[in-house]
Amino acid sequence: MRMRPTLSWTPPEDLPPGTTDPGPVVDALETGGVLVLSGAGISTESGIPDYRGEGGSLSRHTPMTYQDFVGDARARQRYWARSHLGWRTFRRAHPNAGHRAVAAFEARGRLAGVITQNVDGLHQAAGSEDVVELHGSLARVVCLTCGAMSARRELAERLEAANEGFAPVAAGLNPDGDADLTDEQVGDFRVVPCTVCGGVLKPDVVFFGENVPPGRVEHCRRLVHGATSLLVLGSSLTVMSGLRFVRQAAQAGKPVLIVNRDPTRGDRYALTRVALPLGATLTTVAERLSSPPEHRATARTRP
């Protein structure tokens, strides 16, 4: 019997309460060496919904699993129809105040890096450079047969040509760029093959039920090892792909700080959880940070 991936988590009653004081986050960033771990919640202010927050997509939508995608041609057709429609909106999303604040932390030398569970590329669009895309990127497509990699925009053009006039109205957009469509709306949508070998194409993202590449996990573990503290932004930490880094940091005695309005599966490992909206909170934190020593020295020498 095929097991479904963990999609939900019920907070126990003994979790520590959240706070509205971002002071510990400011203190950690003042120290420097902070590793950011971001989740879908940081992109909600850019118009991309999260999975589990208020109005999250899991309340109406079950994400595609890797097993269904590779094992069922009809499932692939439904996925690509919905994803193709969703991509039109997804690619127009812009970074929000939260992404810009993280980029500012990096520019001011406060970070050891950014690990994101998101596939939207908004951290990089905001100016962050040292970003590990834990779950891949929707901007890339990979062939499951020959491994050829290509740009999503190229596939979008091919799908447009193969499905002229395809323009159903979606009920909603999901964090993985998948739009909500009925089977009737999917209709006879045509899926196109790899241009190199004719094989099956898949977005270069980690589906539910699929493992993060071991090398990528090990790289993230090294980042946690080298960091002074771990700052979780907008993730419920329901799935192990992100929670394992929280556990690693806590076991090593490194402070774990979380900014997320709702309780998370990592709260019991955290020094604090700031239960406030991300964009405004991170903007406030950025404003409260002092300038790094080299920036202050530069400022004093200006006429």
Q: Is 235 annotated as a binding residue?
A: yes
CA–CA gap between residue 288 and residue 291 (Å, rounded): 9
At 3 the pLDDT is 38
pLDDT, the chain, mean = 88
Whole-model pTM above 0.85?
Answer: yes
pLDDT in tens, 260-298: 999 999 999 999 999 999 999 999 999 999 866 454 333
The pair of structure tokens assigned to 260 is 């997320």
Beta bridge partners of 259: 233, 274
pLDDT at 4: 43
pLDDT tier for residue 184 given thresholds of 50, 70 and 90: confident
Is 194 marked within a binding site? yes
**What token pair was written down for 47?**
């118009």
Q: Mind listing the pLDDT tens digit for each residue in 126-157?
A: 999 999 999 999 999 999 999 999 999 999 99
Give the model's pLDDT for residue 9.
57
pLDDT digits (tens, 9 = 90+) for 70-117: 999 999 999 999 899 888 888 889 999 999 999 999 999 999 999 999
252 versus 58: which is more confidently predicted?
Answer: 252
Query: What confidence tier does 8 reach under pLDDT thresholds 50, 70, 90?
Result: low
Q: Active-site residue 123, yes or no?
A: no
- Does residue 121 carry a pLDDT above 80? yes
23-301 maps to CATH 3.40.50.1220 = yes
* Residue 48 labeled ligand binder: yes
Which stretches does DSSP call E strand in the chain?
A: 34-38, 111-116, 131-133, 136-143, 149-151, 201-205, 229-233, 256-259, 272-274
Could you tell me how far CA 15 lies from the centroid of its own chain?
Answer: 24
Q: How many CB atoms lie within 10 A of CB 131?
A: 21
Q: Residue 71 annotated as binding? A: no
Is the pLDDT at 170 greater than 60? The verdict is yes
The whole-number average pLDDT for the span 236-248 is 95
Choose, from 135, 219, 225, 295, the residue flagged as catalytic. 135
Cα–Cα distance measured from residue 249 to residue 245, given in angstroms and rounded to the nearest whole number: 6
Quote the tokens at residue 246: 């929280």
Q: How confident is the model at residue 243 (pLDDT cuts 50, 70, 90)?
A: very high
- Please check the confidence at residue 12 and state whether its pLDDT lies above 50: yes
Query: Residue 220, annotated ligand binder?
Result: no
- Give dist(CA 233, CA 223) in Å, integer: 16
Q: What is the pLDDT of residue 17?
A: 85
Q: Which residues contact 195 (CB under 8 A, 6 or more apart)?
A: 148, 150
